[in-house]
Structure 1
Amino acid sequence: MRKLLTTLIGAVALTVSALAVSAPADAGTIAATPKIGVTWTNVCAATPAAGYASCNAKRVTGGTTAYMAAKAASQGKSVAPLASTSSPSGFGPTDLQSAYGLASAAASNGSGETVAIVDAYNDPNAAADLAVYRSYYGLSACTVASGCFKQVSQTGSTTSLPTSDSGWAEEISLDLDMVSAACPNCNILLVEASSASYANLGTAVNEAVKLGAKYVSNSYGGSESSSETSYDTSYYKHAGVAITVSSGDSGYGVEYPAASQYVTAVGGTSLVKATSTTRGWTESVWKTSSTEGAGSGCSKYETKPTWQTDTGCTKRTVADVSAVADPATGVSVYDTYGVSGWYTFGGTSVASPFIAAVYALAGTPSTSSYPASFPYAHTSSLNDVTSGSTSTCSPAYLCTAETGYDGPTGLGTPSGTTAFAG
C-alpha cells in the first residue's frame, strides 16, 4: 500500500489526497490494473474549529491514465472519470440503483415523500444545477415551480438565504444529486444553515422536520465534545424521522453528529462492477491511508442505543450502514458555483444523502420509531461488506470489515429497501 503525499493548496488550505489500493480479485476490468491512483480535494476546510463542522465531500481532480481507462471500461463507458467537465463520468442513477437493488423501488416509490438536505451557507445555483443533473439522466424535473424542490434558510425563509460559499455549494450539489439518484420521485427540501456551527446546522435540522421532512441528511461532522449530548436532545432527537449522518472521512475515529445515538451513521465503501458475481458488484471498506477513509469507532460520550449489540464498545459505535464513498469509485455530480460542470465526487457525503433517500423509498417511519434501529432488525436484507480496513485497532472490528457488524461499514449496504422499513 503506497502512501502518497498530502499537500495544502492555496490560502484555504484544501487538502489533496492520493489513492493507492489493490483492486478486488473479482473486479472485472479494473483487476487488470491492480495498483490505481486518483487525486482529489476536500471542498470544505479539513479541520473545523471547535463547535463547528466541516462537510465530507471530495472532488476528484486527477488520476493515472491506466486507472482512468480501466474505470471507464468497468462502467461500460469510453470516457475517463476526469475526461471533461462537460460530460459526466462517475456512477449515475442507473449504476447506483443496480448496485443497491433499488431499480424497482426507485421507479414506483417515493411520491409524496420529502427528503431534506441540511448544509451550511447558500448555493445560488442549486436549482439550476439540479435541473441539469436530472435532465441528463432522464429523471423527471424537480423544480421550485412544481413544488418538488424547495430551498430555504434555517428559519424557513425562501428569500433571505445565507451567504454563498463555493465549497459548501459543491456539497449541496452532491447531496441533491444523490437523493435524485436513489429516489427520483421524492421531493427535495434544501435547508441552508447560516454558518457551519453545530447550533446553526442543528437549527436547520429542526426547521427541516418542522417543514414536514421525514428523512433528513447531514453530510458534515467534527470532533466529539462533552457538549454533544445536549445537541442530541436539542437538534437530532426526532422520533418518526430518519436522520442520516456521514461517518466522516478520517478513517478510524468518531465524528459528531454521526456519534449521536438518535441518527443513522453512514460509513463508506469502494464500489466496483464485478461481472463474476451474482450481484454484479463488489464492495470493500473505503481507505486511502491510515488517516483517510470511512470514519468509524467508539464514541467517548454517547450512550449505546438499545438496538446496537456489539460488545467491544460500551458506548455508541459508528457506523450503522454504509454506501459508496471512495472517490476512486465515485459518483457523477453537476455543479457550477465556483466550478464548471460535471465532476466525480466521493467521501461519506455521498453515502448519507443516498441512504436518506433509501429510507424514503422504504416508506414513512411510524411516529414513535427511531429509524436508526430499522437495519438492525433486517440484517439479512443488507450486503455484508467483509473485506478491507482503515487502520489497526482494538477490538479489530472497529476499523476492519468482517462478517456481520463492523465499524467502517456497519451492518452493510442496501440490498433493496427492506432493511430501511419499520
Structure 2
Amino acid sequence: MRTNFPHIRLRWHRVGSATAVTAALVLAGFGTAVHADATTSSKVTWAATPCATPKKTGELACNSLRVTGGTTAFQKARGITPKAADAATPSGYGPSDLQSAYGLTSASAANGSGETIAIVDAYNDPNAEADLAKYRSYYGLPACTSASGCFKKVSQTGSTTSLPTSDAGWSEEISLDLDMVSAIAPNAKILLVEAKSATMANLGKAVNEAVTLGAKFVSNSYGGSESSSDTSYDSSYFNHPGVAITVSAGDEGYGAEYPAASKYVTSVGGTALSTSSTTRGWTETVWKTSSTEGTGSGCSSYDAKPSWQTDTGCTKRMISDVSAVADPATGVSVYDSYGVTAGWYTFGGTSASSPIIAAVYALAGTPGSSDYPAQYPYAHTSSLNDVTSGNNGSCSTSYFCTATSGYDGPTGLGTPKGVSAFTG
C-alpha cells in the first residue's frame, strides 16, 4: 500500500477494508498537489480525480489528475491569463500540439481510418458521446457518432442498453481517454467498453469484450498494486496476440503497478512536455512532482520478462516500454460535463499517455496477427525521442527511476517520433 501523505491525499489499490476506503474517500477531497518548474510562470495546482481513489474494496484506481489553478505551460506559451473557475476555453495542449510534438502531423494520411481503438474504463459516462462531439467540433476534427458507426459504447458484456451505474469520477477519465484518441487518430472508430466496477475481473472482462468486438488497439488507464494473482490475470485478460494493449504506468512515482506490469501489454510512462527552440520544437523530461507523485516505473515482482526486453538490472518484467505527456503542468485539454461544470479542463497523469500511445499504434496500422505489439518499439529505437533527464524517485538501480540515454524505467525507450516505432 502506497500513500501520498505530503499532498494530504491517500490512494489505496486493492484495498483490504471498507473502513480504509471510507478514510481514503474523505481525505481525497482535501488535497491538491503543487507543481513548479521552468515550464510554468507560476505554480500549477491539481487534484486527483475521484476515480483515483477506489470506490469499493478491491477496486483499482484511474491514473488521471485535473488542474485546478495556476498557469500551465500551454497558457504561458500562448500568453493566456487563466481565470478563476473559467472552463469556457481550452487551456491545455490540443490535437495540433500533440501531433506536432510526436511527429504525427503527416505520419498517416488516413489518420487511423479503418481501425478501431477501444477504451476500457469502469462505470458509465452518460455524456460520453455528447462530450466527445464538443471536443471534436471545437478542434475541427471529423464527427464521430453512434449514428454514423464511428462511436460505440457498450458494457463489459457487449450490451448497448444495459450499462453500468453512472459515475462522475470515471466519467472524467472516460472524457480524457476519448479526447486523446481523437487528438491522435481522428479518423479511427472508437469503442468505449464500460466495466460494471473497477475490479480487475470486470475490467479484464471488458478488455476481452473489446477484442471480441474487433478492436486491435485497447487503452487501459488504471492500475493497482501488484499481487501473486497477476500472472493468472495475464492469461485470462491480456494475452491477445495481434492486439496492441496499452496500460498507464501509474501516477505515484517510482514503483510497479499492474496491469502495466503484464508481459503482454505496452506499459506507458509519463513526461513533462514543453516547447523549445530545438529542431524538434519540443522537449521532454521525466514527469515528477515529488517522490510520491509522478510517472510510475519499476521491476515487477511477479511477471516474467518478455523476450524483447533486454535490460539487465531487472530479471522480471520492467515498466515502462514507451512514454508520452502526463505532467498536469504541461497537460492536455479535455471537455467534460457529467458531475462537474460543463466545460474545458486540463488533465494530466499517465491516463493521458496510454490512449495517446494506443492511437499512435492505430496510425501505424494493424499489428501482425501473431505479434505482441509491445515488442515493436524495441526493434525501432532510433524512431523514438529518447528522454534523458529527470527521475521519478529514489531507487537502488539507477535506470529503474532515472532517465538515461537508451532504455530507462520512467520513460522506457522514449516518446513517439512518427509511427515507425509502432509497426512490426
TM-score range, shorter chain: over 0.9
For residues 81 and 226 of structure 1, the distance between their equivalents in structure 2, rounded to whole angstroms, comes to 48
- Pick aligned residue for 1:19 from 30, 34, 54: 34
- Pick aligned residue for 1:399 from 401, 413, 416: 401
CA contact (8 A) 2:155 2:162 kept: yes
Which whole-Å deviations, capped at 9, do the CAs of 1:247-293 have from their partners, x for residues lacking one? Answer: 0001111110000000000000000011x111000000000111110
For residues 25 and 261 of structure 2, the distance between their equivalents in structure 1, rounded to whole angstroms, comes to 32
CA contact (8 A) 1:53 1:220 kept: yes
The residue aligned with 1:220 is: 222
Give structure 1 stretches of 5+ with no counterpart. none
For residues 395 and 131 of structure 2, the distance between their equivalents in structure 1, rounded to whole angstroms, comes to 42
Q: What amino acid does structure 2 have at the position aligned with 1:36?
A: K
Large movers: runs of 4+ above 6 Å: none
Q: Taking structure 1 as reference, are residues 83 and 404 closer, same or farther at Cα in structure 2, changes over 3 Å only?
A: farther
| Residues 1:122 and 2:124 aligned together | yes
The residue aligned with 2:291 is: 290
Which whole-Å deviations, capped at 9, do the CAs of 1:96-121 have from their partners, x for residues lacking one? Answer: 00000001135433111000000000
Query: After superposition, where does 1:236-385 map in structure 2 within 5 Å?
Result: 236-274=238-276, 276-340=277-341, 341-385=343-387
- Pick aligned residue for 1:184 from 183, 186, 189: 186
State the 1:10 CA deviation: 6.8
For residues 92 and 55 of structure 1, the distance between their equivalents in structure 2, rounded to whole angstroms, comes to 22
The residue aligned with 1:53 is: 60
Which whole-Å deviations, capped at 9, do the CAs of 1:114-138 have from their partners, x for residues lacking one? Answer: 0000000000000000000000000
The residue aligned with 1:36 is: 43
Give structure 2 stretches of 5+ with no counterpart. 11-23
Which whole-Å deviations, capped at 9, do the CAs of 1:373-406 have from their partners, x for residues lacking one? Answer: 0000000000000000011211110000010000
Q: What amino acid does structure 2 have at the position aligned with 1:171?
A: E
CA contact (8 A) 2:269 2:321 kept: yes
CA contact (8 A) 2:8 2:27 kept: no
CA contact (8 A) 1:106 1:183 kept: no
State the 1:21 CA deviation: 4.0
Q: What amino acid does structure 1 have at the position aligned with 2:48?
A: T
The residue aligned with 2:417 is: 415
For residues 207 and 311 of structure 1, the distance between their equivalents in structure 2, rounded to whole angstroms, comes to 36
For residues 307 and 296 of structure 1, the distance between their equivalents in structure 2, rounded to whole angstroms, comes to 18
Q: What amino acid does structure 2 have at the position aligned with 1:46?
A: T
Q: Taking structure 1 as reference, are residues 12 and 334 closer, same or farther at Cα in structure 2, changes over 3 Å only?
A: farther
The residue aligned with 1:72 is: 75
State the 1:53 CA deviation: 1.1
State the 1:326 CA deviation: 0.4
Say which SS state the counterpart of residue 277 (structure 1) adopts.
coil
For residues 302 and 171 of structure 1, the distance between their equivalents in structure 2, rounded to whole angstroms, comes to 27
Which whole-Å deviations, capped at 9, do the CAs of 1:158-192 have from their partners, x for residues lacking one? Answer: 00000000000000000000000000010000000
Q: What amino acid does structure 1 have at the position aligned with 2:75?
A: A
CA contact (8 A) 1:151 1:189 kept: yes
State the 1:83 CA deviation: 6.4
CA contact (8 A) 1:14 1:46 kept: no
State the 1:12 CA deviation: 7.0
CA contact (8 A) 2:245 2:265 kept: yes
Q: Taking structure 1 as reference, are residues 15 and 326 closer, same or farther at Cα in structure 2, changes over 3 Å only?
A: farther
- Pick aligned residue for 1:90 from 89, 92, 95: 92
CA contact (8 A) 2:401 2:408 kept: yes
For residues 255 and 355 of structure 2, the distance between their equivalents in structure 1, rounded to whole angstroms, comes to 21
State the 1:50 CA deviation: 6.5
Say which SS state the counterpart of residue 152 (structure 1) adopts.
strand
For residues 409 and 48 of structure 1, the distance between their equivalents in structure 2, rounded to whole angstroms, comes to 30
Q: What amino acid does structure 2 have at the position aligned with 1:72?
A: Q
| Residues 1:165 and 2:167 aligned together | yes
Q: Taking structure 1 as reference, are residues 377 and 282 closer, same or farther at Cα in structure 2, changes over 3 Å only?
A: same
Q: Taking structure 1 as reference, are residues 15 and 207 closer, same or farther at Cα in structure 2, changes over 3 Å only?
A: farther
State the 1:150 CA deviation: 0.1
For residues 164 and 250 of structure 1, the distance between their equivalents in structure 2, rounded to whole angstroms, comes to 26
398-407 vs 81-90, which moves further: 81-90
Q: What amino acid does structure 2 have at the position aligned with 1:261?
A: K
Say which SS state the counterpart of residue 354 (structure 1) adopts.
helix
For residues 261 and 297 of structure 2, the distance between their equivalents in structure 1, rounded to whole angstroms, comes to 9
For residues 32 and 311 of structure 2, the distance between their equivalents in structure 1, rounded to whole angstroms, comes to 32
For residues 77 and 210 of structure 1, the distance between their equivalents in structure 2, rounded to whole angstroms, comes to 47
Say which SS state the counterpart of residue 26 (structure 2) adopts.
coil
Q: What amino acid does structure 1 have at the position aligned with 2:286?
A: V
State the 1:48 CA deviation: 7.2
Which whole-Å deviations, capped at 9, do the CAs of 1:2-42 have from their partners, x for residues lacking one? Answer: x964357973734633233432xxx6xx5xx4x73323233
State the 1:61 CA deviation: 1.1
The residue aligned with 2:198 is: 196
Which whole-Å deviations, capped at 9, do the CAs of 1:203-240 have from their partners, x for residues lacking one? Answer: 00000000000000000000100001000000001000
Q: Taking structure 1 as reference, are residues 113 and 236 closer, same or farther at Cα in structure 2, changes over 3 Å only?
A: same
State the 1:347 CA deviation: 0.3
State the 1:77 CA deviation: 4.8
The residue aligned with 2:20 is: none
Q: Taking structure 1 as reference, are residues 354 and 81 closer, same or farther at Cα in structure 2, changes over 3 Å only?
A: farther
CA contact (8 A) 2:74 2:91 kept: no
CA contact (8 A) 1:71 1:80 kept: no
Q: What amino acid does structure 1 have at the position aligned with 2:142?
A: S
Q: What amino acid does structure 2 have at the position aligned with 1:419?
A: A
Say which SS state the counterpart of residue 252 (structure 1) adopts.
coil
